[in-house]
Amino acid sequence: MDFKNLPHFRPAEIKTYRSDTYDRISPSATKFDAKGKTLLITAGATGIGYSICESFAKAGIARIIILQRRESVLAAAKEALGKAYPTTLVETYAASQSDFPRVTEIIQSVGEIDVLIPCATSAADLEGMKPTRDNKTEQIADIYMVNVVGLFHIVREFLALPSTASGGPKSVIHVSSNASQMYFPGGSGYCSSKAAANQMITHFGFDEPKGNVKFYSFHPGAIWTPLAQKNVPKDMVVWEDVKLPGDFAVWLASPEADFLNGRFV
């Protein structure tokens, strides 16, 4: 199937569609005050997550905490970020977003977090692109455990932390997907769980007292990530610059994005 021709892949109502990063959201131009602040991100060692780490490091953030399952990619990301951005402290933890006790332990040990970015995702049902009825119940449950329940848990634990010394509102920036608003073969678990995750973030945003924490979900674009490489032929999609979601995440953490609180962008 040609993903470029799927309905709503590029919504008609969007007049300017960006495929590359641009000056307005550049980390050097952002109004996000990164001094003394801490970012915790899941799946931040590869792909979109790593680009987000780079953008926050460019903005001058003091500390980046990365949670990801594989020790090897964590070690590589820590080394690369440390060399490129020596003034940013990078810490890594091997953990799955669905390992609730481990996530709680890590967040409590980290202590102060200003920006939480849940980027981890499960798209196990995309492999083979089977009809919905051919998926196993356990497989769909596992996808929801990462994409929805795991998201809920990490946000809940983040909100239980005390206020940070840096002051100002905190941010939760959920890396979602355009799949949350579309259909494609084999994506019943992934697409529907991403839609549910967006709703979860919206409810957090409306329930939390205004001014304490800002909540966003955003579609990062069509990025040639390792996950995409496993499931989509490269010539099916016009791929976009991975720096775009990285820089946009920093902009979302700035005061300029306050009007989008609770929304899917």
pLDDT above 70 coverage of the chain, percent: 91
Q: Select which of 194, 216, 217, 243 is catalytic.
A: 194
Residue 194 falls in the annotated catalytic set? yes
CB 217 within 8 A of CB 263: yes
Q: Which domain holds residue 109?
A: 3-264
pLDDT of residue 85: 97
d(CA 264, CA 205): 11
Q: Select which of 190, 193, 214, 243 is catalytic.
A: 190
Residue 190 falls in the annotated catalytic set? yes
Residue 254 falls in the annotated catalytic set? no
Which has more pLDDT, 91 or 225?
91
Total domain count for the chain?
Answer: 1
pLDDT of residue 2: 45
**Helix ranges, 90-225 (H):** 100-110, 137-144, 150-159, 188-207
Sign of the Cα torsion 130, 182, 257, 199 reads: negative
Residue 94 has pLDDT above 90, yes or no: yes
What value does the mean pLDDT take over residues 73-82? 96
Structure-derived torsion over alpha carbons of residues 244, 200, 148, 228, reported in degrees to the nearest 10: -20
Sorting pLDDT into bands at 50, 70 and 90, what band is 58? very high
Q: Select which of 51, 171, 176, 177 is catalytic.
A: 176
Instruction: Tell me if residue 259 falls in helix, strand or coil.
Output: helix
Say which CATH number the domain at 200 has.
3.40.50.720
What value does the mean pLDDT take over residues 183-203? 87
pLDDT of residue 101: 96
Which has more pLDDT, 238 or 194?
194
